[in-house]
C-alpha cells in the first residue's frame, strides 16, 4: 500500500507538523500535558515517578522529531550506512543523557523546579536499560552515542530481551540473582508492529532445478517464529542527528500451524508453542567472557541475525541498485563472533533467494563485513556443535561446509607442503562432536578483523590468528584501541568537573574533541584551579559515601584513600588478588603498635561486580570479599584505617557515581588476558589514578599519561607461559606473604575455611593459572607506593590533573572515526545541511 500522502493534501500536515520545545515554558507545557493526558494523573497525584515519565515523554517527543528528520534525510541522501550488530547494548539510563545531548538539562531543571520537583530525584526514578553484561555491551552503547554525535548514518541491531542482566543482591555474603523485568513503562522504545520478519528454524534442505536448469537449494518445512521491531532513538550530542537502535522481539507466527492445532481443540499446545517462540528473546545470557554452547543461545543469534539481514536487504532492494553495489552502501560490523551467522545468512540470501552465483555473492559478503575480536580467553571463544547446527540450521551448515571447502582449497594451493595448516585453520574442528569455530568463520567472511588494544591485537596476530596472518597477509588484521564517550563518562557522571574544564577552555567543545583537554595541563600549578579540582573530588567521594551508607549501613571516612575495583567478577580480572591484598593489609594493621598505626594511610577498599550465575569460583570470590568486610569493618583495632565495602548490583548508573569518586582504581588482570578494559579509561578521565598490570589498554594509558602517573606492577605477558610452566615443573614456591594470608583464611578468620578452599587450592595445588602468587609481592609493594604517594596530596593532585589532560586519545569519537576510515569507509552526513 502506498502510504505517502499526495502533494495537494500535504499542506494540512505541514501546518500541524510537530515542533520541538526549546524554552522552559514549552517544556512545562509538554510536561503537564503528558502528565494529565498520557499518564491520566494530575497535580494532586504526581509523584517523582510520574514526574519522571512526564519529563521523559516531553523529551521523547523532541527526540522523535529529530529521529524522523534524520531517517528521512538518510534515506533521501542514500549514502553508505553502518550497521552495528551486537547481542548486547548496555545503555544504562536515557533521560539524563537525552537532556544533556539536546542541551536542555538546565531548561528541564528550572521547569521541574517550577512544578515542584528536583531534577536529581526525577532522574533517579529511571530503571537502567541493562541489555548487556560488561565491557562488550557498554562499548556498543558508547558506539551508538559516538556515531550519532559524529553524524554517521548508523543503526544498531540487537535483541529486545524481556529480562536484562539480573539484579544482584547479597544475602549472608552470597550473591543472589533476581530477574530484571525492565520493560514496564519504558518510554524510550517504539514498537513497530508493522515491521515483522518471519524467521525459520529446523526443517530440511531440498534441491530443485530452476527455469534455467540450475540446481538450487531450498530450506523447507521448518518452524517459523516472528520477529517484531522495536526502535530506540539515539540522540547525538550537540547535533540534530538522531540514529536508530532496532531491537527484535520474538513472537509466535500467526500462521496456519497454530490454527490447525486450535481448530483441533489443542488450545494448550497452541499456547505452549506461543510461549516457546517468545522464549527466544526472553533473557540475556548472563555470562561475560564465557560461552556455554546452549541451543537457545544459538537460536537467539540466528533469530537476530536473520531479522537484521532481512531488514537491511529489504532497505537496499528499495533503492533498485545492482547487487554489486551492496558493499558500497552497507557496512556491517560484528561485535565479537556472536553475529557471525549474519555472514552465512547474507550468502544464503544472495545465492538461494536472489540467484547470484557463489563467487559473486561471496565477494559481496566479504566486502560488507568487519569483525571485532574482544578476547583471547579460550573459554570465551565460540564454537557450536555440528549436530546442533545441522538440526537447527541445516542450510547454513551446508553453506559453512562449502565456505570451508573453498577456503581450504585455496590454502592448500598456497601451502602445498604444509598438511598441518589445513587442520589448524579449518572452520570445522575435528573433535567429538565436531565443532564450528566461529572466530575462523568470522575472519574468512570479513575484510577486516580488529582487536581492541595494541597488546591484544598483537597477541591475536602472534598466537590465535597466526595462521590466518600467513594466509591473508597482515593487512586484514588491525588494531583499534577502545574508547569511552566523554558525554556520559565525564559530562553526565561528573558535571562539576566538566564545568570546571569548560570554564578554563572557554566552553564545552572538548566534549566533541577530547584532545582539547590537553589545554588544561597549564593550570596544573594554578592554585584556585587545584583547589576547585580537589573540592570536586571530595564532593564526589561524599556522594559515594552517602550511597554506601544508604545501601550497606557502613560509614566510610571521606578522607581515606578510596580504592575501587568494579567490573565483572572473573578469575582473570583477579579480584582474588585484591582481596588477598586487603587481608594482608588487615593482618599488618593488627600487628602494629599504636605508634605505627598513626602512620597508616586510611583506606576504603571498594568492590563491585556480578558473577555469572553458574561461575562458582567467581561467586566464591564475592563470598570471601563480603566475609572479609564483615570481620574488618567490625574490628575496633582497625577502625577507620581500613574498611571493606562490596557494592551490590554494580551497573551503569552506579558506575556514574563510583567512577568520579575513586582515588585509585584497580585494573589488575593477568598480563595478556584483558582485551582492553574500558573502566580504566573512565576512572582516569575522572581524575582517579590507577594501579594496573601491563595489560590491555593500561599500556596505552601509560604511554599517554606518562609512567610517573600510573602504578604498574606484575609480570609481563611475554613471561606468562614460562611462569605457568614453572608451577607444574618445579621451581614454584608460594609467595610467603600470600602464605600468611592463606593461613589466616585456614584459621577460619573469615568464616568456615572450607568455603574458600577452592580459591586457595587453585593457587597452591592446581597451577595458579592466573599467577596470583607470582604477582603478589609486586602488588603489595606497589600498594605501599600508592600509600606514600597519597600522603603527598599536592603531588597526587598534579598527577590527577595531568592525567586527565592527556586522556584525549581515549574518546570513543577517535575510535568511531578510525572504524569509519579504516574499516567501514563511510562518511558523516550532517542532517542540518
CB of 819 to ligand H53, least distance (A): 13
Shortest Cβ 150–ligand H53 spacing (Å): 19
Q: How far is the CB of 720 from ligand H53 (least distance, A)?
A: 16
Q: Are 392 and 297 in contact (CB under 8 A)?
A: no
Site for ligand H53 in 230-289 (CB under 6 A): 288-289
Among 167, 348, 374, 541, binds ligand H53 (CB under 6 A): 374
In order of 138, 343, 669, 703, 815, the CA distances from 454 in angstroms are 20, 26, 16, 12, 13
User: Least separation, in Å, of the C-beta of 565 and ligand H53?
Assistant: 15
Window 569-598: contact mask with ligand H53 (x via CB under 6 A): ------------------------------
Q: Which is nearer to ligand H53, 301 or 540 (CB)?
A: 301
Q: Residues 50, 99, 136, 569: which binds ligand H53 (CB under 6 A)?
A: 136
Residue 578 has which C-alpha cell? 585484591
Which position among 92, 134, 609, 688 is part of the footprint of ligand H53 (CB under 6 A)?
134
Q: Which segment (208-216, 591-599, 607-615, 675-683) binds ligand H53 by CB under 6 A?
A: 675-683
Q: Which of 662, 678, 760, 773 binds ligand H53 (CB under 6 A)?
A: 678
- 298: nearest Cα among 270, 342, 338: 338
- Give the residue with the Cβ less far from ligand H53, 133 or 242: 133
* Active-site pick, 678, 760, 782, 816: 678
Selected catalytic residue, list 573, 585, 783, 806:
573
Mark whether 551 is an active-site residue: no
CA distance to 98, 426, 554, per residue, from 346 (Å): 35, 21, 55
Cis peptide bond upstream of 328, omega within 30: no
What is the phi-psi region of residue 334: left when phi exceeds 0, alpha when psi lies from -120 to 50, beta otherwise? beta
SS (H, E, C) 642-676: EEEEEECCCCHHHHHHHHHHCCEEEECCCCCCCCC
- C-alpha cell of residue 714: 606484575
Do residues 26 and 108 make contact, with C-beta atoms less than 8 angstroms apart?
no
Query: Which member of 162, 246, 338, 374 is catalytic?
Result: 374
- Applying the rule CB under 6 A, the residues between 686 and 715 that interact with ligand H53 are 696
CB 705 within 8 A of CB 803: yes
CA 134 to the chain's CA centroid: 5
CA 697 to each of CA 427, 672, 676, 681: distance values in angstroms, whole numbers, following the listed order: 30, 11, 5, 8
Q: Distance from CA of residue 335 to its chain's centroid? A: 10
Q: How many chain residues touch ligand H53 (CB under 6 A)?
A: 19
Query: Mind giving me the DSSP string for 459-499?
Result: HHHHTTTHHHHHHH-GGGEEE----B-HIIIIIIT-HHHHH
Output the 3-class SS for 93-143.
Answer: CCHHHHHHHCCCHHHHHHHHHHCCCCHHHHHCCCCCEEECCCHHHHHHHHH
List the catalytic residue out of 682, 724, 783, 806: 682
- By C-beta, is 136 or 228 nearer to ligand H53? 136
Q: Which of residues 318-347 bind ligand H53 (CB under 6 A)?
A: 336
Interface with ligand H53, residue 677, by CB under 6 A: yes
682 assigned to active site: yes
Task: Report the nearest approach of ligand H53 to the CB of residue 129 (Å).
Answer: 17
Q: Closest approach of Cβ 132 to ligand H53, in Å?
A: 8
What would the grid cell of residue 631 be? 570481620
- Judged by CB under 6 A, which of 674, 735, 768, 774 binds ligand H53? 674
By C-beta, is 604 or 684 nearer to ligand H53? 684
- Residue 792: CA count within 13 A, CB half-sphere: 9
- Do the strands 174-178 and 190-201 form a parallel or antiparallel pair, or are they unpaired? unpaired
Binding to ligand H53 (CB under 6 A): which residues in 88-127?
none
How far is C-alpha 177 from the geometric centre of its chain's CA atoms? 20
Residue of 263, 251, 235, 56 lying closest to 146 (CA atoms):
235
**Helix axes of 793-805 and 527-552: crossing angle, nearest 10 degrees:** 90
**Smallest gap from residue 378 Cβ to ligand H53 (A):** 11
Cβ at position 694, least distance to ligand H53 in Å: 14
Interacting stretch for ligand H53, rule CB under 6 A, among 131-139, 582-590, 735-743, 771-779?
131-139
Task: Provide the minimum distance between the beta carbon of 87 and ligand H53 in the complex, in angstroms, as a whole number.
Answer: 10
Binding span for ligand H53 by CB under 6 A among 239-247, 503-511, 521-529, 674-682: 674-682
Nearest approach in angstroms of CB 376 to ligand H53 is 9
The C-alpha atoms of residue 345 and residue 347 are separated, in whole angstroms, by: 5
User: Could you confirm whether 573 is annotated as catalytic?
Assistant: yes
Span of 130-138, 191-199, 419-427, 593-601 interacting with ligand H53 by CB under 6 A: 130-138
Interacting residue with ligand H53 among 92, 111, 135, 187 (CB under 6 A)? 135
675 binds ligand H53 (CB under 6 A): yes
Min separation Cβ 19 and ligand H53, Å: 40
List, in order, residues 6 or more apart from 651 with CB less than 8 Å away. Answer: 92, 128, 130, 165
Q: Which residue has the cell 572557554?
A: 506
413 carries an active-site annotation: no
Closest residue to ligand H53: CB criterion: 135
Residue 73 near residue 37 (C-beta atoms within 8 A): no
Query: Between residues 239 and 811, which has the closer beta carbon with respect to ligand H53?
Result: 811
Q: Which of 281, 482, 653, 762 binds ligand H53 (CB under 6 A)?
A: 482
Nearest-angstrom CA–CA distance, 543 and 528 = 23
Residue 374 is among the residues annotated as catalytic for this protein: yes
What beta strand segments (E) does 221-373 contain? Answer: 223-235, 242-252, 330-335, 369-372
- C-alpha to C-alpha distances, 789 to 171, 470, 525, 533, 710, nearest whole angstrom: 37, 47, 18, 18, 11
- Catalytic residue, chosen from 138, 567, 727, 783, is 567
Pick the catalytic residue: 395, 568, 727, 799? Answer: 568
Q: How far is CA 388 from the centre of its chain?
A: 28
Minimal distance in Å, beta carbon 631 to ligand H53? 32
Among 301, 368, 375, 651, which residue interacts with ligand H53 (rule: CB under 6 A)?
375
Nearer to ligand H53, 609 or 660 (CB): 609
Segment contacting ligand H53 (CB under 6 A): 167-175, 247-255, 676-684, 707-715? 676-684
Quick one: 391 or 702, whose CB is closer to ligand H53? Answer: 702
Which one of 35, 154, 452, 655 is in contact with ligand H53 (CB under 6 A)?
452
Binding to ligand H53 by residue 291, rule CB under 6 A?
Answer: no
Would you call 105 a catalytic residue per the annotation? no
Q: How far apart are CA 383 and CA 439, in angstroms?
A: 8
Residues with a catalytic annotation lie at 374, 567-568, 573, 678, 682
Interface with ligand H53 by CB under 6 A: which residues? 133-136, 139, 288-289, 336, 374-375, 380, 452, 482, 674-678, 696
Amino acid at each position: 500500500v502506498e502510504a505517502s500522502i499526495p502533494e495537494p493534501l500535504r499542506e494540512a500536515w505541514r501546518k500541524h507538523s510537530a515542533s520541538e520545545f526549546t524554552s522552559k515554558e514549552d517544556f512545562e507545557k509538554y510536561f503537564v500535558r503528558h502528565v494529565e493526558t498520557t499518564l491520566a494523573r494530575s497535580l494532586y497525584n504526581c509523584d517523582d515517578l510520574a514526574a519522571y515519565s512526564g519529563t521523559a515523554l516531553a523529551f521523547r517527543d523532541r527526540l522523535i522529531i529529530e529521529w524522523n528528520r534524520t531517517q528521512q534525510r538518510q534515506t533521501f541522501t542514500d549514502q553508505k550506512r553502518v550497521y552495528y550488530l551486537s547481542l548486547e547494548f548496555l545503555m544504562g539510563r536515557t533521560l539524563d543523557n537525552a537532556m544533556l545531548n539536546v542541551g536542555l538539562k538546565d531548561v528541564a531543571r528550572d521547569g521541574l523546579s517550577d512544578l515542584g520537583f528536583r531534577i536529581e530525584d526525577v532522574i533517579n526514578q529511571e530503571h537502567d536499560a541493562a541489555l548487556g553484561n560488561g565491557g562488550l555491551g557498554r562499548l556498543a552503547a558508547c558506539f551508538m552515542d559516538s556515531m550519532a554525535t559524529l553524524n554517521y548514518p548508523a543503526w544498531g541491531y540487537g535483541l529486545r530481551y524481556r529480562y536484562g542482566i539480573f539484579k544482584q543482591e547479597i544475602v549472608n555474603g552470597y550473591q543472589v540473582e533476581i530477574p530484571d523485568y525492565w520493560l514496564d513503562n519504558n518510554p524510550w522504545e517504539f514498537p513497530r508492529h508493522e515491521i515483522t520478519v518471519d524467521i525459520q528454524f529446523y526443517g530440511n534442505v531440498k534441491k530443485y532445478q530452476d527455469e534455467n536448469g540450475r540446481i538450487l537449494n531450498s530450506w523447507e518445512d521448518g518452524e517459523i517464529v516472528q520477529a517484531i521491531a522495536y526502535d530506540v532513538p539515539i540522540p547525538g550530542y550537540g547535533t540534530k542527528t538522531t540514529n536508530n537502535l532496532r531491537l527484535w522481539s520474538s513472537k509466535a507466527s500467526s500462521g496456519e500451524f497454530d490454527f490447525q492445532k486450535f481448530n483441533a481443540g489443542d488450545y494448550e499446545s497452541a499456547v505452549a508453542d506461543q510461549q516457546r517462540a517468545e522464549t527466544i528473546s526472553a533473557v540475556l545470557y548472563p555470562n561475560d567472557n564465557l560461552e556455554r554452547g546452549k541451543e537457545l543461545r544459538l537460536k537467539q543469534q540466528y533469530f537476530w541475525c536473520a531479522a537484521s539481514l532481512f531488514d537491511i536487504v529489504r532497505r537496499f532492494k528499495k533503492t533498485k541498485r545492482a547487487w554489486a553495489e551492496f558493499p558500497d552502501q552497507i557496512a556491517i560490523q560484528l561485535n565479537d563472533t556472536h553475529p557471525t551467522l549474519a555472514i552465512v545468512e547474507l550468502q544464503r540470501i544472495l545465492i538461494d533467494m536472489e540467484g547470484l552465483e557463489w563467487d559473486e555473492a561471496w565477494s559481496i559478503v566479504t566486502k560488507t563485513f568487519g569483525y571485532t575480536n574482544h578476547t583471547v580467553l579460550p573459554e570465551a571463544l565460540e564454537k557450536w556443535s555440528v549436530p546442533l547446527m545441522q538440526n537447527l540450521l541445516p542450510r547454513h551448515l551446508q553453506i559453512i561446509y562449502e565456505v570451508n571447502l573453498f577456503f581450504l582449497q585455496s590454502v592448500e594451493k598456497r601451502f602445498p607442503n604444509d598438511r598441518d595448516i589445513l587442520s589448524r585453520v579449518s572452520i570445522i574442528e575435528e573433535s567429538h562432536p565436531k565443532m564450528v569455530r566461529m572466530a575462523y568463520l568470522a575472519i574468512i567472511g570479513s575484510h577486516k578483523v580488529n582487536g581492541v588494544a595494541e597488546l591484544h591485537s598483537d597477541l591475536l596476530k602472534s598466537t590465535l590468528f597466526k595462521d590466518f596472518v600467513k594466509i591473508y597477509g597482515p593487512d586484514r588484521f588491525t588494531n583499534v584501541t577502545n574508547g569511552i564517550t566523554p558525554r556520559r563518562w565525564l559530562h553526565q557522571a561528573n558535571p562539576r568537573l566538566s564545568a570546571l574544564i569548560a570554564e578554563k577552555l572557554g566552553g564545552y567543545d572538548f566534549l566533541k574533541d577530547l584532545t582539547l583537554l590537553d589545554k588544561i595541563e597549564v593550570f596544573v600549578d594554578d592554585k584556585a584551579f587545584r583547589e576547585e579540582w580537589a573540592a570536586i573530588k571530595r564532593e564526589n567521594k561524599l556522594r559515594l559515601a552517602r550511597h554506601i551508607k544508604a545501601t550497606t549501613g557502613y560509614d566510610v571516612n571521606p578522607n581515606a584513600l578510596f580504592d575501587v575495583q568494579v567490573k565483572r567478577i572473573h578469575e582473570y580480572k583477579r579480584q582474588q588478588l585484591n582481596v588477598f591484598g586487603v587481608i594482608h593489609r588487615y593482618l599488618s594493621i593488627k600487628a602494629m603498635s599504636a605508634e605505627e598505626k598513626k602512620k597508616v594511610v586510611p583506606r576504603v577498599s571498594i568492590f563491585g561486580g556480578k558473577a555469572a550465575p553458574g561461575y562458582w569460583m567467581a561467586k566464591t570470590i564475592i563470598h570471601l570479599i563480603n566475609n572479609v568486610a564483615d570481620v574488618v569493618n567490625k574490628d575496633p583495632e582497625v577502625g577507620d584505617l581500613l574498611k571493606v565495602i562490596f557494592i551490590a548490583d554494580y551497573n551503569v548508573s552506579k558506575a556514574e557515581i563510583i567512577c568520579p569518586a575513586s582515588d585509585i582504581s584497580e585494573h589488575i588482570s593477568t598480563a595478556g588476558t584483558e582485551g582492553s578494559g574500558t573502566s580504566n579509561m573512565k576512572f582516569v578521565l575522572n581524575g582517579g589514578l590507577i594501579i594496573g598490570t601491563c595489560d590491555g589498554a593500561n599500556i596505552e594509558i601509560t604511554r599517554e599519561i606518562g609512567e610517573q602517573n600510573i602504578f604498574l606492577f606484575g609480570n609481563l605477558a611475554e613471561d606468562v607461559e614460562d611462569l605457568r610452566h614453572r608451577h607444574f615443573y618445579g621451581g614454584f614456591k608460594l609467595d610467603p606473604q600470600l602464605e600468611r594470608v592463606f593461613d589466616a583464611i585456614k584459621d577460619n578468620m573469615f568464616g568456615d575455611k572450607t568455603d574458600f578452599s577452592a580459591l586457595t587450592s587453585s593457587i597452591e595445588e592446581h597451577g595458579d593459572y592466573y599467577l596470583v602468587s607470582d604477582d603478589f609481592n609486586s602488588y603489595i609493594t606497589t600498594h605501599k607506593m600508592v600509600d606514600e604517594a597519597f600522603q603527598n596530596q599536592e603531588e597526587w593532585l598534579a598527577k590527577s590533573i595531568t592525567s586527565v589532560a592527556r586522556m584525549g586519545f581515549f574518546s570513543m569519537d577517535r575510535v568511531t572515526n578510525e572504524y569509519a576510515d579504516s574499516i567501514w569507509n563511510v562518511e558523516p552526513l550532517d542532517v542540518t545541511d
